[in-house]
Amino acid sequence: MSKKFPENKKFDLSKINKEINVFWKENEIFEKSVESRKGNPTFVFNEGPPSANGKPGIHHVMARTIKDLFCRYKTQQGFQVKRKAGWDTHGLPVELAVENAKGITKEDIGTKISIEEFNAACRKDVMKFTNMWEELTESMGYWINMDDPYITYDNKYIETVWYLLKELHKKELLYKGYSIQPYSPAAGSGLSTHELNQPGCYRDVKDTTVVAQFKVINNDKSVSLFNATDTDLYILAWTTTPWTLPSNTALTVGANIEYALIRTFNPYTGIPITVMIAKELMGRYFPEKYAEMPLEDYVPGNKHVPFKILTTVMGGVLEGLSYEQLIDWVKPEGKSFKVLLGDFVTTEEGTGVVHTSPTFGADDYRVALANDIASLIVIDKDGNEQPLVDRKGRFFRIKDLDEGFVMNQVNLETYGAFEGKYVKNEYDETKSEKDPTIDVDIVVQLKTENKAFRIEKHIHNYPHCWRTDKPILYYPLDSWFVRTTAMKERMMELNDTINWKPASTGTGRFGKWLENLVDWNLSRARFWGTPLPIWVTEDKSEQICIGSVAELKSEVDRSVKAGLMKTNPLENFMIGDNSEENYSIFDLHRPFVDEIVLVSESGQKMLREPVLIDVWFDSGSMPYAQYHYPFEHKDDFDQLYPADFIAEGVDQTRGWFFTLHAIATMLFDSVSFKNIISNGLVLDKAGNKMSKRLGNAVDPFHAIQEHGSDPLRWYMITNAQPWDNLKFDVSGVDEVKRKFFGTLYNTYSFFALYANVDGFTYEAEEVQVETRPEIDRWVISLLNTLIKEVKEQYENYEPTRAARLIQDFVTENLSNWYVRLNRKRYWGGEFDTNKRAAYQTLYTCLETVAMLAAPIAPFYMDKLFNDLNRITKRHTEESVHLTRFPEHNDSLIDTALEARMEVAQKLSSMILGLRRKVNIKVRQPLNRMMIPVPDQVFQEQVDGVKSLVLNEVNVKDIEYITDTAGILVKRIKPNFKVLGPRYGKLMKEVSSAINEMEQEEIARFEKEKAFHIRIGEESIALTLEDVEIISEDIPGWLVANEGAITVALDIGITEELRMEGVARELINRIQNIRKESGFDVTDKINVLIEKHELINIAVKKHKQYIGSQTLANSVSLTDSIENDLSKRIDIDDDVFINIRVTRV
RNA sequence: GGGCCUGUAGCUCAGCUGGCUAGAGCGCACGACUGAUAAUCGUGAGGUCGGUGGUUCAAGUCCACCUAGGCCCA
């Protein structure tokens, strides 16, 4: 086998990606990374299940990079990190996709197509993009076990979910209620708050709004108000949904809000009226300037309507007022049309009076219930109570209502024109956006009836169904709830123990949400999902919640015995047998469970509640259900739960994060996860949201193919903190590729090139670090600091900082400084200890970087590691991902040395800057530079790096200036950190006194090490610690200064220096010729140079030097050379000579 | 309307517990280097740190309000 480090001409990360993937697969590296940690402590990671019926996007690469890198890191730390993939398979999106594909609607399910058929189609459809997901997973290098994923539709998974539900039921945390919920008539489904969470649900819409006039009835309660006026009295209430006005049964005011009675005119009819409105909000409807206008001058139709405040009252005294029904389509039964008090009334908007329709508003429902106010309901043909709007989103058709009800309570005359009309045009296929809405019809009618005070268009934020894109309604629905409010306090307590990244998401977004928690609405009236395992008797007096297949089997047995079922479909189910076969003889979905009839304690027939549960409960159950707990893994569950780490997008805060936390708190009194990163969004480069519609979405497959996964991952991690939004710009990926990977690769190539020449294989004895040259010890010191800090950042879940540290080390310290300054050590010369140290040092740096960066850039780092390790065999592991994370060695960290080198870097940079200023090439040697040294320490620092600096900037010597004989111009600055606390308010004056010190005073201060300044009456004693004195200038010299360092350069070029410069120019030209001629790095040459007065002396004098640098056996001068064998070169602007270079 | 995040150079981002002349990369301009060369390096221009007010000897940093953008929720 070749003992050479691989050298590749091309650097193709995308190709490396593929090669390494093959390597991983063939050698089962992922499996080994888990297996090899067997018996070690576990690091529990839980994967949030993606929905397999959607295609993966670039944001998945982001989230999965974060997940992957910590799992890899923890593996390197020695933990066993099991990673089980999962699929979220239930829910509305799947159903809608199938409906779409089959061209059916919800109504057709159970009629045109059986539920069984439909669910079979869902089961198939949901996994349709599985291949794509697997491909992405592999190509991006996301290590997760896809062979045995948890699937939420799996019987075992469902069984665990049932178990959890039963536990909730036992604790009486599961109950049936009725509430106003977001409902999508277009989808025919209620929406969970989690579904309303979907990005883009809330959208600005323009609706017709109306301030309606509710006519107060003059009675005992209101008589005092009527005494104040001579007209009818109206309460003004504003609504953005006029279609709810026919369902109005109350008005709600704020007890502590002041309301004004205002005498004015209806602007549309011109009829004199008195209206009531929150005083604070008057300005919107009654511009101050019209207050002056005399009421009696008003001419109907005039836009300027005069008004006059008659009196004001507090909302509290309005409670109990009666008013006339605004729209008399349907008579409500029970107490109605009263003024109520509510704490949700504000004076932010509208009139300070809330139009209350208990069937269409959550607050409305609550306040009505508390005050015993009736809802406006109708009775349908089946005798059920319904709101005025049916499930399709239209006013109930008269033919769908109970005849008796219509006769007694419906005003056919007024309702007739509206029955069957959709309340939103979006629901009506025959209508477009441009058609007038039902709101307009209603409002126009009110206008003619003197019941509308102000009509206007209003833009507001309104939720839309995330799938159909159509507006939702708030609608009364029966539901099963999880009583999350009962555990609110505990959830908050446990939340405080979770390490959130960023912390603000935990305390703010999530914490505040917990504070305002409402009960979790669990029911979904759909088909494809986990069925609610609750059976209820017809009279609803008895119920049972089933918690396992075994329990179901025995309950069915009872039912069979009671004669309610003929046979037990679970007859063949073997209790306790967890095999796939045993669990595949039935299907816990509908319609299987619907067909099961159970018998109650008292012998009554029980039917299943015909609902499914919220899919979020499925995903929140994954920590348990993925392992079929407690039916399996009961004994080792403490090894699998709770999770040490999860990560998902911040949009999951109220989704998955919440459901995990809620279930864990309620049933296990535990957190579900200890550390969590919620990452931000991936936006396009302009900061816009990516969407298919806009065509700005980045295709992850294409991006990986084009750039390779590593640069993509590295870019995503380094560019912004994970929790900030990422403005994704491919040019940034390119930059990362060039800047970081390119540099690292170059550094490796450089190493490989010379290591191969010299046959370095790290076999020879390790050179003791203490005996290595200073620059080696410097880079090793930095490397150890790097190891320490990178580990800290990973441990703190700060991947961005870790990656930036690594990148900085590679590009700045390793490549730009260490390798650049050390190049000469690698080429030519003996393979002595010094050279060995150079190789070993560079090798260690490369190897360590590979190990540190492996979690983030798993492909290239594995290649780098193996390219190195295959030759040296320093590690027995066959992949970097099987190695242990490097440990830093404190004794190798030399901060003084690091500081010294920083001085060297600064000095070099300053000198190069000076050279540039006066246009002297670096190749031209200069005699000396001078550095004022304020103290011994600094001089020692510079001395330590003297040769490096001199070499780098091509200057012969450094001269230290310690004498303050007056040649140096100094600057003195106060040390605020020391003086500030001491002198407080005096600081300003102290500071200016110090700044105003003369050169001579500074010199005296330095000499005496103490100084007194006068501030008014006070004398202040200063020591050298209180100030900073910097030499700023050396008159007559070329000077640069940066921070506390000042340097001067002697730019005089003597003849001798000039000759040396010429020699260097020659060397440069000869090297170029060597290269152009394609000579090998080790080829020996002969050099023949045409004479020229300007170079003759230089050549003679530096013959030796030129020869050694260019590997020339001979360097000789000649009168002339035949042109065809020579090259014409320029040494100076106007000096051209011929030169011949031949290989020996 | 509420909660949270973000606003620093043309772009992407650093800037820890307040302290001295606010930094880096990219881009741009200019230049150097030339056996790491489909590389590398240097120099320069470019900022009223979103705005206003406050606390403080001292504010990019702390506080209040405002403003713009984003996410989530009403």
CA distance A991 to A598: 89
Quote the pLDDT of residue A1: 44
Of A480, A616, A723, A817, which one is the catalytic site residue?
A616
pLDDT tens digits, one per residue of A510-541: 888 888 787 888 888 789 999 999 999 987 88
A969-974/A1010-1015 β-pairing: unpaired
Which nucleotide lies at the shortest CA–C1' distance from A655?
B72
For residues A1068-1079, give the mean pLDDT.
75
Residue A1072 has pLDDT above 80, yes or no: no
Residue A877 has pLDDT above 90, yes or no: yes
**Residue A278 forms beta bridges with which residues?**
A259
Q: Look up the protein residue whose alpha carbon has the minimum distance to the C1' of B18.
A: A977
Q: Identify which of A844, A876, A849 has the alpha carbon closest to the alpha carbon of residue A863.
A: A849
A977 is catalytic: no
Quote the pLDDT of residue A1071: 77
Which nucleotide lies at the shortest CA–C1' distance from A688?
B70
CA distance A473 to A426: 12
Which nucleotide lies at the shortest CA–C1' distance from A681?
B71
Neighbours of A681 (CB within 10 A): 18
Confidence grade of residue A1043 (pLDDT, cut at 50, 70, 90): low
Which nucleotide lies at the shortest CA–C1' distance from A748?
B36
Q: Identify which of A828, A1069, A829, A906 has the alpha carbon closest to the alpha carbon of residue A1061.
A: A1069
Query: Residue A32: what residue type?
Result: K
For residues A8-15, give the mean pLDDT.
80
Of A213, A325, A652, A1109, which one is the catalytic site residue?
A652
Mean pLDDT is lowest, of A69-83, A615-629, A755-769, for A755-769
Of A243, A480, A528, A656, which one is the catalytic site residue?
A656
Q: Output the distance from A684 CA to B12 C1' rounded to whole Å.
A: 13
Quote the pLDDT of residue A1126: 65
For residues A581-591, give the mean pLDDT.
93
pLDDT tens digits, one per residue of A32-61: 999 999 999 999 999 988 887 788 888 888
Quote the pLDDT of residue A953: 78
Q: Output the distance from A1075 CA to B43 C1' rounded to whole Å.
A: 29
Confidence grade of residue A160 (pLDDT, cut at 50, 70, 90): very high
Mean pLDDT of chain A: 84
Q: CA angle, corner A199, sides to A176 and A665, nearest 5?
A: 45
CA distance A507 to A503: 6
Quote the pLDDT of residue A855: 94
Query: Reduced to 3 states, what is the DSSP secondary structure of residue A254?
Result: coil
Of A512, A566, A692, A985, which one is the catalytic site residue?
A692
A168-177, A250-259, A346-355 — most confident range: A168-177
Q: Output the distance from A975 CA to B48 C1' rounded to whole Å.
A: 26
C-alpha A1123: how far from its chain's center?
A: 67
Which nucleotide lies at the shortest CA–C1' distance from A818?
B36
Neighbours of A398 (CB within 10 A): 15
Confidence grade of residue A121 (pLDDT, cut at 50, 70, 90): very high
Quote the pLDDT of residue A268: 87
Mean pLDDT is lowest, of A65-74, A146-155, A664-673, A817-826, for A817-826
Quote the pLDDT of residue A50: 86
pLDDT tens digits, one per residue of A83-103: 999 999 998 888 888 988 998
Q: Which residue carries 């798993």 as its tokens?
A: A858
Q: Identify which of A199, A172, A193 has the alpha carbon closest to the alpha carbon of residue A522.
A: A193
CA distance A607 to A534: 8
A739 is catalytic: no
Residues 6+ apart with CB under 8 A from A124: none
Quote the pLDDT of residue A69: 93
Q: Output the distance from A731 CA to B50 C1' rounded to whole Å.
A: 27
A342-346, A643-647, A892-896 — most confident range: A643-647
Residue A652 has pLDDT above 80, yes or no: no
Bases along strand B below 7 A from a protein CB: 1-6, 11-14, 19-21, 25-26, 31-44, 56-58, 69-74
A652 is catalytic: yes
Query: Is there a cis peptide before residue A630, judged by omega within 30 degrees of 0?
Result: yes
A886 is catalytic: no
Query: Reduced to 3 states, what is the DSSP secondary structure of residue A614?
Result: coil
Q: Output the distance from A979 CA to B57 C1' rounded to whole Å.
A: 9
A906 is catalytic: no
| Reported ipTM exceeds the 0.90 cut | no
Q: Look up the protein residue whose alpha carbon has the minimum distance to the C1' of B24.
A: A808
Of A50, A56, A76, A88, which one is the catalytic site residue?
A88
Q: Dihedrals φ, ψ of A238, to 5°?
A: -105, 140
Which nucleotide lies at the shortest CA–C1' distance from A680?
B71
Quote the pLDDT of residue A1042: 66
CA distance A371 to A373: 5
Q: Output the distance from A743 CA to B27 C1' rounded to whole Å.
A: 19
A436 is catalytic: no
Q: Output the distance from A758 CA to B73 C1' rounded to whole Å.
A: 67
Q: Output the distance from A525 CA to B72 C1' rounded to whole Å.
A: 26
Name the residue with higher pLDDT: A199 or A806.
Answer: A806
A656 is catalytic: yes
Residue A1012 has pLDDT above 90, yes or no: no
Q: Look up the protein residue whose alpha carbon has the minimum distance to the C1' of B6.
A: A724
Q: Identify which of A367, A314, A312 has the alpha carbon closest to the alpha carbon of residue A343.
A: A367
CA distance A469 to A421: 20
End-to-end CA distance of chain A: 32
For residues A224-236, give the mean pLDDT.
88
CA distance A755 to A3: 10
Q: Look up the protein residue whose alpha carbon has the minimum distance to the C1' of B71.
A: A651
Of A24, A49, A471, A710, which one is the catalytic site residue?
A49
Q: Output the distance from A1028 CA to B20 C1' rounded to whole Å.
A: 9
pLDDT tens digits, one per residue of A423-466: 888 888 888 777 888 888 888 888 888 888 888 887 777 788 77
Residues 6+ apart with CB under 8 A from A606: A535, A536, A537, A542, A543, A544, A597, A598, A599, A600
Q: Look up the protein residue whose alpha carbon has the minimum distance to the C1' of B32.
A: A921
CA distance A210 to A451: 10
Mean pLDDT is lowest, of A343-357, A515-529, A629-643, for A343-357
H helices present in A996-1054, as ranges: 999-1008
pTM score, two decimals? 0.79
pLDDT tens digits, one per residue of A674-725: 999 888 888 777 777 776 666 777 888 988 888 889 989 998 888 888 888 8
Which nucleotide lies at the shortest CA–C1' distance from A917?
B43
Q: Output the distance from A529 CA to B68 C1' rounded to whole Å.
A: 43
Residues 6+ apart with CB under 8 A from A184: A190, A191, A465, A467, A468, A470, A472, A473
Query: Reduced to 3 states, what is the DSSP secondary structure of residue A543?
Result: strand
Query: Residue A922: what residue type?
Result: V
Which nucleotide lies at the shortest CA–C1' distance from A921?
B32
Residues 6+ apart with CB under 8 A from A875: A865, A869, A883
Quote the pLDDT of residue A1039: 73
Q: Is there a contact between A658 and A704 (Cβ–Cβ < 8 Å)?
A: no
Q: What sign has the CA pseudo-torsion A973, A975, A979, A985?
A: positive
